[in-house]
């Protein structure tokens, strides 16, 4: 009789733990989906602002063409999106890294607002990618737990992948590289 009670109690505790672990995994997957949606939104916003900057007349024709092409490629990429987004980051860095860039465009009306919007969009990508990759790491760690693997708690959900792009806003300036969130315009 006592053995039966012990077995039932152990099974009840084990069942509660499995239920908790399954709920945790479900919440992590929901967090992952929300973080991916936020990242996608930030990437689209960044490419939209880059296209607006390219067509604003503030940039020289070559820089405008480079930026517009990279923004269009990033926006339309399905396969190889990480590469296209990295190319857009490098194009932004090249445009903003030109000597005297901010001074050369600051005379135009609306330039400060557009540059601030571009900077904000770039920072949003930086943050959204960090949050998404943190959610991926937490979800992958939870899925690696022995109970999660043994009980197949993840079901048929695919293993989440990290989103790795070059989102470093600063150029070769070592002082800017040490900042947590370096600024495109250097005015940060």
Instruction: Please determine, for residue 2, whether its predicted confidence score (pLDDT) is greater than 80.
Output: no
pLDDT reported for residue 171: 59
In a domain, 175, yes or no: no
Domain that holds residue 8: 2-167
pLDDT reported for residue 110: 81
Instruction: Please determine, for residue 131, whether its predicted confidence score (pLDDT) is greater than 60.
Output: yes
For residue 137 the two structure tokens come to: 């790491």
Number of helices (H), then strands (E), belonging to the chain: the values are 7, 0
In a domain, 179, yes or no: no
Write out pLDDT tens, residues 27-63.
999 999 999 999 999 999 999 999 999 999 888 999 9
Instruction: Please determine, for residue 82, whether its predicted confidence score (pLDDT) is greater than 60.
Output: yes
In a domain, 67, yes or no: yes
45 neighbors 107 (Cβ within 8 angstroms): no
- Read off the pLDDT of each residue in 79-87 and give the average, rounded to a whole number: 94
Instruction: Please determine, for residue 87, whether its predicted confidence score (pLDDT) is greater than 70.
Output: yes
In a domain, 114, yes or no: yes
In a domain, 183, yes or no: no
pTM value is 0.83
> How many structural domains compose the chain?
1
């Amino acid at each position: 009789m006592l053995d039966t009670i012990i077995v039932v109690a152990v099974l009840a505790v084990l069942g509660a733990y499995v239920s908790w672990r399954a709920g945790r995994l479900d919440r992590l997957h929901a967090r992952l989906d929300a973080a991916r949606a936020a990242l996608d939104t930030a990437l689209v916003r960044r490419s939209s602002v880059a296209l607006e900057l390219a067509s604003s007349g503030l940039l020289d024709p070559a820089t405008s063409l480079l930026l517009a092409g990279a923004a269009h490629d990033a926006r339309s990429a399905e396969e190889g999106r990480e590469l296209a987004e990295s190319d857009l980051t490098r194009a932004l860095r090249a445009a903003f890294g030109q000597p005297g860039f901010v001074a050369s465009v600051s005379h135009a009306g609306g330039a400060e607002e557009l540059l601030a919007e571009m900077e904000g969009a770039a920072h949003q990508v930086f943050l959204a990618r960090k949050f998404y990759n943190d959610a991926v790491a937490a979800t992958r760690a939870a899925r690696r737990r022995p109970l999660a693997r043994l009980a197949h708690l993840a079901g048929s959900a695919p293993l989440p992948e990290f989103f790795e792009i070059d989102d470093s806003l600063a150029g070769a300036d070592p002082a800017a590289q040490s900042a947590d969130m370096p600024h495109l315009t250097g005015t940060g």
